[in-house]
């Protein structure tokens, strides 16, 4: 992989919206259909990032593109009573179709304050927000092979 340098990275980064699930990810149907994990994560990457363009459909190969997928979700029903929830993303930053840097990001949550009163989507939603922030910060200074959040 090549390093980042100079004005080639002055333009924005295209990010899929929603972020897709990886092919082998097992997610409860109810979580997949009701929690909007892909849309929420993309929204938070854009919210915390600089010059992020959310794109539905084909991202293309030109310019700066983040190829990112949801690769793991554990979100048992029952809110906080069924234990912690977690979500993992993997991604590769590409410039004009060439791999530049990659990451693996993971976050766990038990719901925080008043977690016992929150449902499964609210708890896993905390993971989407933090992962979005993690990825947005990484995009500002991407390092290849980075382990973000709880993926360390």
Compute the average pLDDT of residues 27-56.
Answer: 95
pLDDT-derived band at 2 (thresholds 50, 70, 90) equals very low
Q: What is the pLDDT of residue 6?
A: 38
What is the structure's pLDDT at 94? 97
- Provide the mean pLDDT of the chain: 87
User: Is pLDDT larger for residue 61 or for residue 92?
Assistant: 92
Mean pLDDT for 65-94 is: 86
Predicted pLDDT at 114: 47
Nearest to 54 by CA among 37, 40, 36, 34: 40
Position of tokens 């929603």?
Answer: 18
User: Which residue stretches of 1-152 are H helix?
Assistant: 29-34, 37-48, 120-140
Whole-structure pTM value: 0.86
Question: What is the arrangement of strands in the sheet containing 85-95, beginning at the earlier edge strand?
Answer: 52-55, 13-16, 64-74, 85-95, 98-109, 146-149
* Domain residue ranges in the chain: 12-71+89-107+125-149
Instruction: Give the range among 31-40, 49-58, 109-118, 137-146 with minimum mean pLDDT.
Output: 109-118
């Amino acid at each position: 992989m090549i390093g980042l340098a100079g004005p080639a990275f002055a333009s924005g980064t295209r990010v899929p919206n929603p972020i897709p699930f990886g092919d082998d990810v097992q997610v409860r149907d109810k979580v997949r259909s009701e929690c909007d994990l892909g849309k929420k994560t993309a929204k938070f990457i854009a919210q915390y990032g600089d010059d992020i363009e959310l794109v539905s459909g084909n991202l293309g190969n030109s310019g700066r593109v983040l190829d990112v997928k949801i690769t793991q979700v554990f979100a048992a029903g029952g809110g906080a009573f069924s234990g912690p929830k977690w979500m993992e993303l993997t991604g590769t930053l590409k410039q004009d179709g060439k791999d530049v840097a990659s990451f693996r990001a993971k976050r766990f949550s038990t719901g925080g304050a008043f977690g016992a009163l929150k449902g499964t989507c609210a708890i896993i939603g905390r993971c989407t927000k933090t992962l979005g922030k993690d990825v947005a910060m990484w995009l500002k200074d991407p390092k290849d092979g980075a382990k973000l959040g709880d993926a360390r």
